[in-house]
Amino acid sequence: KQIDELRAEIEVLETEKAKFMQKVDAANKAKAQLASRTSAIVHDSERIKAMLGEANRRVSEIDRRLPAIASNRQSILARIGHVKAEVEKLKTDAERKKQEISVQRARQEEINSSIDKITVKLSKYSSARKKIEDRSKRMASLKSRIELDSARLEEKSKTISYRLSSGQQSIDSINLELDSAKSRLLELTDAFESATTKLTSLSAELSALQDLKASLERELEGTAGLMAKAESMATKFEERASVAKNAMADDLAIAELMKDKDKFGIIGIVHDIVRWNKEYERAVLAAGTEWMKAFVVQDIQSMIAIATYAKQRRLPRLRIIPLDFVSRFKPRSIKEIAGDVNVVGTLDGFVHSEYEKLNSFLFSDTVVVRNSSAAYMLARQGYRAVSVEGELFEPAGGSMSLDFGSRISDLTKAIMLGNSVEGLRETLGRLAKIVDKKNLDLKQTSERILEIESQKMKLELESAGYKSAIEKETALINSKEKALPELSLALQSLAAEGQSLQSELARLKRRLELLAPATTRLAARLSAIDESAVRAEHAQKNAERNIVLRQLDSLNAELSQFTSSLSGKESRLEFDTRQVSDMDEESSRLALELEARKKQISEMQARSATLESELSSLRDQEQQIIDSSGNAYSVLQDYERKIKSLSENERRLSKENSNLEREIALLKKDQSDLLAQELRLTNDLVWLGYKVLLESMEVDSAIKELSDEHEQVKARINLRADESYVQVIEGYRGMSDRRNQLENERNSIVSFIENVVREKKEMFMDAFGKVDGDIRETFSKLTGGAAWLEIENPEDIFSGGVMLLVQFPGKVGRESTALSGGEKTIAATVFLLALQSLKPSPFYLMDEVDAHLDAQNTERLSKILVERSKTSQIIMVTLKDSTVSKAMLIYGVYPQQGVSQVVKYRNPSQVPLANLGAEGS
């Protein structure tokens, strides 16, 4: 009942708490709405205040600007009036200069007319004089040419005479040289034939000696290999024989008997006769280790003969197996254990030889099993058993032997080979003496070959010298014999040419005698012409004309100066007029803006006052809500505290109730057990013959003792441990849930960061690849070299920077910071164009990037820029003609009278035909 009351009270408190929470939520929503509205009004108020301050500042600026404009306008108007007066004065001076120029031009025309008349007269005199002078010059030229031809012919005639005499001397000298060369050729031919004969005999002897040397070397090589192999084999078998003799005595006895095995009727040794499967090798060796070195003979007589011989020679213990005895051997049956899964079979089934009875005799009593435990169990049953791993158990388990990899020693052959080795050693000694003799013969043959080769080389050099000399002498004789008829023909031709020159020289002398009187007559006619007076008059007129021209130049210069000053004044006047017009427009615009700004200020002031009043009202409402909801937290804490207290009481009572119910149930069970036991004991007593029951014991004293003990123990025991345990468990579960939640949140944050880092790296590497590829392609086109980007730290790309490496043709690759000025310009331009491929801009402005480039690189850069201008507009300041010629639109800027002038020009060669047609229409 008390628990139900507590639960009802908790429900009432929960309901009141929910209602209070609804009220608090409504108050918080209203407070949030008020806060939002307040924030918006504050933002609008601050914005209006800022706009109001900006408007006031602009009004102040306009108030200051309007008087300044009026003052500047008055000063400019005054300057315009002054400039207009100067312009009128300059126009008057220019008109006066033009009149003076027209007067001087009229005088110039008059003088030019007089000069033309004098020039006509001079041209007549000059024409006549020129004709006479031309005839005189032609005759003088003809005379000089004839004299020159005569002198040349005389000199040529002398040269031909000298060549005739020297040619005859050359013919005589060639004849003497031919006789001497023929005698030398005979001597050289005899010497060459003698040397060739000696060389042939030496070659034959050398070939025979080389064959002998090769034969000796082959024999010695084969003998050396044979001796080395024999020495090695002898050493090896000596060691084996020595070891065998000093080793096991039974092996020595076996070896001694095997020398006469036919005499004793020995068929062989057991380990040489039998064969076995490889996987059962350990089992076979373990089971037959005592019989592997036993002799196998045909019959018992052979066995007795061996035993008698061994006794006489005192040989160690031997094992002998006669085959006639083995053939009568009957193996033991193992049918009773054939069904055992661990039994593989009898060992003789895995051993092979020509004598099957021998296998049965040796191994039929041995059973092969799969493991040692099965072998032991069979041995206990009276079988001889061996495992596959080589573990042997004798019958009844009396003894056990192990074999895990032993081998059968066979030293018999080694002992038998000991005698043969001594004979081999004697043979090797005799063979060594033969080899020494062969080596001596080989040395003598080699020395003789070297001697003959030296003589042969000398003879070959002599023969080559003789042959070369013979060829030279033969070529000399042939050339001399060929030159003799050529010289004879040349001398005949020179004689005929000399006669022709003499006849031509006589003809030229006759022409010179005819030219002398004609030249005298032309000189007399030329002296009769006198034109000095006309030339003096012409010079006077030219002087007057020069004076007039200088005056005209002076007047034109003054007129040009007036015109230039007038143009500058007019430009200045036009500029001032335009400036006055701009000032008028600015004044009217500022007046309108001033009026609009003042109106805006008044409106914003009214708006600001309205917002301030509304903001004040909202803040009052917000304060009321805060005051009304200020104690909400304390009320909620009271509710929580009451609910928690009642819940703890309810849990404590519930637990106590549960404990009581559990104790009641246990007591009832104990009571029923005791009653049953009492009934059973009573029945037993009745069955035993007792009619009166014994009185029950006094339990009050026992209860009192137990109660006292309980009171003593209760002070040392924490009776609220179960409640603390529940709270600890709940706290642990809450902390565990919170920890798991934080772990999940951490994992999600780490995953998000990893995704961001991965996406950032992928985006960076994509951009890096694009820019790097564009830099490689563009730089190769531009310079023919190579340029590329490299990451400073490839392992952690965001911990370092990016390097631009550049390699110009014929140079090593370097970083961009180590380049010269022009190279840096090219690298920076290429990098800028590469960035365009990643994120193109609308336009690019470049200032004289081609200033430090040569003509070839400038041309390449301009082509690249023209290609890139298809996607983005490129504006470039340049002084290079080759770059300007590639532009579509050109602006030229130049100074004039202190003012920059701009000229616009559209390049027809860079504008499409369609655009040109549209502009023309």
Other Cβ atoms less than 10 A from the Cβ of 787: the count is 25
The per-residue pLDDT for range 124-166, each reduced to its tens digit, is 767 776 777 777 777 777 777 777 777 777 777 777 777 777 7
Yes or no: say if 650 and 7 are a contact pair by the CB < 8 Å rule: yes
| Residue 382 per-residue DSSP state | T
Backbone φ, ψ for residue 630 (5° rounding): -70, -35
Locate 162 and state its tokens: 């000298």
Share of the chain above pLDDT 90, in %: 1
Q: Is 637 exposed, middle or buried (0-12, 13-18, 19+ CB in 10 A)?
A: exposed
Count CB atoms within 10 A of the CB of residue 474: 15
Q: Mean pLDDT, the chain, as a whole number?
A: 75
pLDDT in tens, 649-658: 777 777 777 7
Taking residues 475-488, what's their average pLDDT?
A: 75
| The two structure tokens encoding residue 301 | 């007589």
Indicate if the pLDDT at residue 388 is higher than 80.
no
Task: Give the CA distances from residue 849 to residues 809, 822, 877, in Å, rounded to whole numbers and listed in that order.
Answer: 20, 9, 8
* CA Rg value for the chain: 70
How many Cα atoms sit within 13 Å of 41 on the Cβ side?
19
Least confident of 296-300, 341-345, 625-629, 684-688: 625-629
Tell me the per-residue pLDDT of 196-209, one tens digit each, with 9 for 90 and over. 787 778 778 777 87
Structure tokens at 406: 């032993």
Query: What does the pLDDT read at residue 281?
Result: 77
**What is the average pLDDT across 838-860?**
82
CB 850 within 8 A of CB 858: yes
Q: Which residue has the tokens 């042959």?
A: 467
Tell me, rounded to whole angstroms, the distance of Cα 291 from its chain centroid.
74
Same fold, 248-410 and 768-920: no
Measured between alpha carbons, how far is 860 from 886 in angstroms, rounded to an integer? 11
pLDDT at res. 702: 72
Predicted local confidence at residue 551, as pLDDT: 79
Q: Is the pLDDT of residue 802 over 80?
A: yes
State residue 246's pLDDT score.
Answer: 44
Greatest Cα-to-Cα distance within the chain, rounded to the nearest angstrom: 212
Is the pLDDT at 58 greater than 70? The verdict is yes
pLDDT of the residue at 239: 52
Cα–Cα distance between 373 and 380 in angstroms, integer?
11
Residue 699's pLDDT is 65
Q: Read off the pLDDT band of 234 (50, 70, 90).
A: low
CA dist 519 and 511 (Å) reads 13
Rounded Cα–Cα distance for residues 23 and 632 (Å): 9
DSSP letter (8 states) at residue 716: T
| pLDDT surpassing 80 at residue 621 | no
User: What is the rounded distance in angstroms from the CA atom of residue 451 to the CA atom of residue 457?
Assistant: 10
Looking at 53-67, 179-193, 899-913, which range is the least confident one?
899-913
pLDDT for residue 917: 38
Tens digit of pLDDT for each residue in 855-884?
Answer: 877 887 888 888 888 888 889 999 888 888
Measured over the CA atoms of residue 547, residue 552, residue 553 and residue 559, the dihedral's sign is positive
Q: 29 vs 255, which has greater pLDDT? A: 29
> Residue 237: its pLDDT value, please?
57
Helices first, then strands: H and E counts in the chain: 19, 17
791 backbone dihedrals φ, ψ, rounded to 5°:
-85, 135
Single-letter code of the amino acid located at 419? N
Return the SS3 of 845: strand
Please report which helix (H) or strand (E) contains residue 728, including its range: helix 721-783
φ, ψ dihedrals at 510, nearest 5°: -65, -40
Mapped onto helix, strand or coil, the DSSP state of residue 221 is helix
pLDDT the model gives residue 18: 75
Say which range, 251-255, 538-542, 834-838, has the weakest mean pLDDT.
251-255
Q: Residue 871: which of 844, 905, 848 has the closest Cα?
A: 844
Q: 497 CB contacts (<8 Å, ≥6 apart)?
A: 160
Confidence check: pLDDT of 397 > 60: no
> Which backbone phi and psi does 321 adopt, to 5 degrees?
-120, 110
- The band of 915, judged by pLDDT with boundaries at 50, 70 and 90, is very low
**Residue 744: helix, strand or coil by DSSP?**
helix
Least confident of 122-136, 457-471, 522-536: 522-536
- At 437-462, the pLDDT tens digits run 777 777 777 777 788 777 778 877 77
Which amino acid type is present at position 613? S
The reported pLDDT for the residue numbered 913 is: 38
Instruction: Work out the average pLDDT over 465-484.
Output: 77
Cα three-residue angle 60-61-66, rounded to 5 degrees: 105
Across 32-46, 390-404, 589-603, 634-648, least confident range: 390-404
Confidence of residue 245 (pLDDT cuts 50, 70, 90): very low
Say if residues 271 and 245 touch (Cβ distance below 8 Å). no
Cα(409)–Cα(254) distance, rounded to whole angstroms? 12
Tokens matching residue 349: 């089934």
How confident is the model over 519-527, as a mean pLDDT?
Answer: 67
Looking at 3.40.50.300, 3.10.20.30, 3.40.309.10, 3.40.640.10, the CATH number of the domain 768-920 comes to 3.40.50.300
Give the per-residue pLDDT at 877. 92
**Bridge partners of 136?**
none
- Within 10 angstroms of residue 618's Cβ, the number of other Cβ atoms is 19
Looking at residue 224, its amino acid is A
**At 172, which helix (H) or strand (E)?**
helix 2-246
Distance CA 205, CA 214 (A): 14
pLDDT > 70: percent of the chain: 81
**Gap between the Cα atoms of 268 and 163, Å rounded:** 119
Q: How many CB atoms lie within 10 A of CB 806?
A: 24
Taking 80 as the threshold, does the pLDDT of residue 587 lie above it? yes
Greatest mean pLDDT range, 478-492, 522-536, 575-589: 575-589
pLDDT value, residue 787: 92
Label residues 844-868 b or e (16+ Cβ within 10 Å = b).
bebeebbeebeeebbbbbbebbeeb
Query: Any idea how long the chain is?
Result: 921
Distance (Å, whole) CA 907 – CA 649: 101
- pLDDT for 248 equals 44
- 887 CB neighbour count, 10 Å cutoff: 20
- Residue 387, classified by CB atoms within 10 Å of its CB into exposed (0-12), middle (13-18) or buried (19+), is buried
**Structure tokens given for 345:** 């079979």
Cα(428)–Cα(417) distance, rounded to whole angstroms? 17
CB count in 10 Å sphere of residue 602: 11
Determine if residue 346 is left, alpha or beta; phi over 0 gives left, psi from -120 to 50 gives alpha, anything else beta.
Answer: beta
Q: How far apart are CA 126 and CA 137, in angstroms?
A: 15
Q: Which residue has the higher pLDDT, 748 or 252?
A: 748
Band (pLDDT 50/70/90 cuts) for residue 231 is: low
Q: Are 159 and 489 in contact (CB under 8 A)?
A: no
β-partners of residue 384 are 366
From CA 527, how far away is CA 136, in angstroms rounded? 12
Inform me whether the pLDDT recorded for 238 exceeds 70.
no
Give me the amino acid identity at 786.
A
Assigned CATH for 248-410: 3.30.70.1620
Where do the domains of the chain lie? Answer: 248-410, 768-920
CB 254 within 8 A of CB 293: yes
Distance of alpha carbon 899 from alpha carbon 582, whole angstroms: 18
Backbone angles phi, psi at 283, to 5 degrees: -65, -40
Question: What are 322-336's pLDDT values in tens digits?
Answer: 777 777 777 766 666
pLDDT at position 193 over 60: yes
Report the Cα 379 to chain-centroid distance in Å. 75
Q: Is the pLDDT confidence value at 428 over 80?
A: no
- Average pLDDT (596-623) is 81
> What are the φ/ψ torsions at residue 392 (nearest 5 degrees)?
-105, 130
